[in-house]
Amino acid sequence: MAKPAILTIDDDPEVLRAIARDLRTQYGDRFRIVRANSGASAIEALEQLKLRNETVALFLSDQRMPEMSGVEFIEQASNMFPEAKRVLLTAYADTNAAIRAINSARLDYYLLKPWDPPEEQLYPVLDDLLDDWLSVYRPAFEGIRVVGDRWSPCSHNVKDFLARNQIPYQWLDIEQEAEAQKLVDYVANKAEKPQLPLVILGDGQQLQQPTNIQLAEKIGLQTQAEQPFYDLVIVGGGPAGLAAAVYGASEGLSTVMIERQAPGGQAGSSSRIENYLGFPVGLSGGDLARRGVTQAKRFGVEILTPQEAVGVRVENSYRIVTLADGSEITCHALLLATGVSWRRLNIPGCEKLTGRGVYYGAAKTEAIACKNEHIYLIGGANSAGQAAMYFSQYASKVTMLVRGDSLTKSMSQYLIDQIASTPNIEVMVRTEVVEVKGESNLEAITLLHNDTGEKETVNTSSLFIFIGAQPETNWLEGVVARDKRGYILTGADLKQNGKRSSGWHLEREPFLLESSVPGIFVAGDVRHQSVKRVASGVGEGSIAIMFVHRYLAEVRA
């Protein structure tokens, strides 16, 4: 953590050096001494401190300076750091100005030049002021700050990316917090008005409307593979992919995992998983992802994120994966664990307002903004139930909209019981959303009550959608066999009418989790007829490694 600053200003170079020397001698171990030779340069230094989220404990300014007097400087600087102590250095002739400044600039003290000896004339006064400041000082948040608009899809994307990658950040709403506008103004002083969201890194660097790749490079995530060839390439970083990475690397396979958003997959956004073996009080999806990533990296797995696989081709015993940036990674064994994505809601207004009050999945980053609001969730499976329980801690009311007759068909009983016992959660069955309304952000939704055929429009600022899942496997067209919905066929499912898939050329039968291409394996939700549970994904990812070893033995033989 950076030391709090003491800022001293004097236009006389010799006086400035002397006061800085005395300050450093007494306070250099606890405070950073910052010097400026004019009011303008001092204001500029303060702006940089603000952008780095550092703080100032004390201003010590000379009164007689050209262009900006000491009192004028303190008045401006106090708007930036209102808690800093304020001391004026004056000649005897300026004492009246100093006395007036006690009221006009809320001056804490004034000192006469010369201050020698400092042990008698300087330190006792500053000691008292700094002790007083330290008694109420609370360190500022250290890390990334995001300045943006609640209704901006780009702002939502930045927050979601940071949160899902376990990167701490501070959100500052430009419409709600004065500090947010000040930071924008400080950046604008150096260039044109910045485009929001504005991401300010810990060292003061700024990114405007950054992409995920730009963010990843700045925060130190790995986006490029270190080697051209691996024993095992895993596409997808959900529970299945993470489990495979841990087991593969721990058993000696050189392993790289490619994840286009953040490790954890859909499970990583779950607010609470309470039926996962070994965690009697439950754990969040984020915790599960964090533990999995730590474990994988411990065994030497390379995790590329955000990075996306866009193509696969087969050359003899090699499987070559093409990435979105055009680079390629070669392997003998490839595991597809890409999971599924939320099905899009195709109703009027929905596409326009996505990221502006309409969100797919839990979107936990929006929870605080929903405080004391009435929000709506679409869906009746576990993900929707977990989200309802999470948002009920913030929203005044959570209404779940379920198209079916009840929750029992698709939700675990423990969640049904929790929802029933939570007073601010309402479940509306046989109800669906047929339209969303709003200009710059969501303002209302239209409900269709299927029992009566009646429509009802209700006001809301937030709608969260959990309406089933679909695989995104079009990039594998012509490579591996898939079912009609796009899920990848494996093992015995590859046989049709007793015949093998046309792409299979080996004498042996495909392994349990092997696709229609030897050496390309599948695990987790993207696999045909998989069980859509975290534990089953972890199990499949682990089991797949056994078949990978068998396949690699064939290749090496």
Q: Name the most confidently modeled range: 236-245, 275-284, 491-500.
A: 236-245
Question: Is the predicted pLDDT of residue 203 greater than 70, yes or no?
Answer: yes
Q: Using 50, 70 and 90 to split pLDDT, how confident is the model at 300?
A: very high
Question: Is the predicted pLDDT of residue 501 greater than 70, yes or no?
Answer: no
336-351 mean pLDDT: 93
Q: Where are the domains of the chain?
A: 5-136, 144-219, 229-261+288-340+471-556, 350-467
How far apart are alpha carbons 35 and 464 in whole angstroms?
52
Cα distances (Å, whole numbers) of residue 129 to 59, 61, 117, 341:
11, 15, 19, 57
Give the domain 350-467 fold: FAD/NAD(P)-binding domain (3.50.50)
Omega within 30 of 0 (cis) for the link into 117: yes
**pLDDT score of 1:** 67
What is the per-residue pLDDT across 36-86, written as a single tens digit (0 to 9) for each? 999 999 999 999 999 999 999 999 999 888 889 998 999 999 999 999 999
Question: Is the predicted pLDDT of residue 225 greater than 60, yes or no?
Answer: yes
How far apart are alpha carbons 450 and 463 in whole angstroms?
20
**pLDDT score of 502:** 66
**pLDDT score of 532:** 86
Query: Which of 170-174, 187-191, 437-441 bottoms out in mean pLDDT, i.e. has the lowest?
Result: 187-191
Query: Which of 178-187, 266-275, 299-308, 310-319 bottoms out in mean pLDDT, i.e. has the lowest?
Result: 266-275
**pLDDT score of 439:** 92
What is the per-residue pLDDT across 358-382, written as a single tens digit (0 to 9) for each? 999 888 889 889 999 999 999 999 9
- Enter the tokens of residue 338: 């890409």
Helix, strand, coil share of the chain (percent; to 5): 35, 25, 40
Q: Using 50, 70 and 90 to split pLDDT, how confident is the model at 469?
A: confident
The answer to whether 303 touches 297, Cβ cutoff 8 Å, is yes
Q: Using 50, 70 and 90 to split pLDDT, how confident is the model at 398?
A: very high
Q: DSSP string of 29-97?
A: TTSEEEEESSHHHHHHHHHHHHHTT--EEEEEEES--SSS-HHHHHHHHHHHSTTSEEEEEE-GGGHHH
End-to-end Cα distance, the chain? 56
Strand, helix or coil for residue 248:
helix
What are the phi and psi torsion angles at 503 (to 5°)?
Answer: -85, -5
Average pLDDT over all residues of the chain:
92
Omega within 30 of 0 (cis) for the link into 263: no
What is the per-residue pLDDT across 265-293, written as a single tens digit (0 to 9) for each? 888 888 888 888 888 888 888 899 999 99
Domains 229-261+288-340+471-556 and 350-467 share a fold: yes
How far apart are alpha carbons 200 and 186 in whole angstroms?
12
What are the phi and psi torsion angles at 244 (to 5°)?
Answer: -65, -40
- Who's near 503: CB < 8 A, 6+ residues apart? 480, 481, 516, 517
Q: What pTM was estimated for this model as a whole?
A: 0.84
- Secondary-structure class of domain 144-219 per CATH: alpha beta
Give the domain 5-136 fold: Rossmann fold (3.40.50)
Instruction: CATH number for 229-261+288-340+471-556: choose from 2.60.34.30, 3.30.365.10, 3.50.50.60, 2.40.50.140.
Output: 3.50.50.60
Q: How many CB atoms lie within 10 A of CB 463?
A: 23
How far apart are alpha carbons 138 and 234 in whole angstroms?
45
Question: Is the predicted pLDDT of residue 194 greater than 60, yes or no?
Answer: yes
Handedness of CA 217, 220, 221, 225 (dihedral sign): positive
Partners of 32 in beta bridges:
5
Cα distances (Å, whole numbers) of residue 76 to 132, 178, 329, 477:
22, 16, 56, 63
Cα distances (Å, whole numbers) of residue 80 to 44, 57, 59, 98, 134:
11, 12, 12, 21, 18
**pLDDT score of 283:** 86
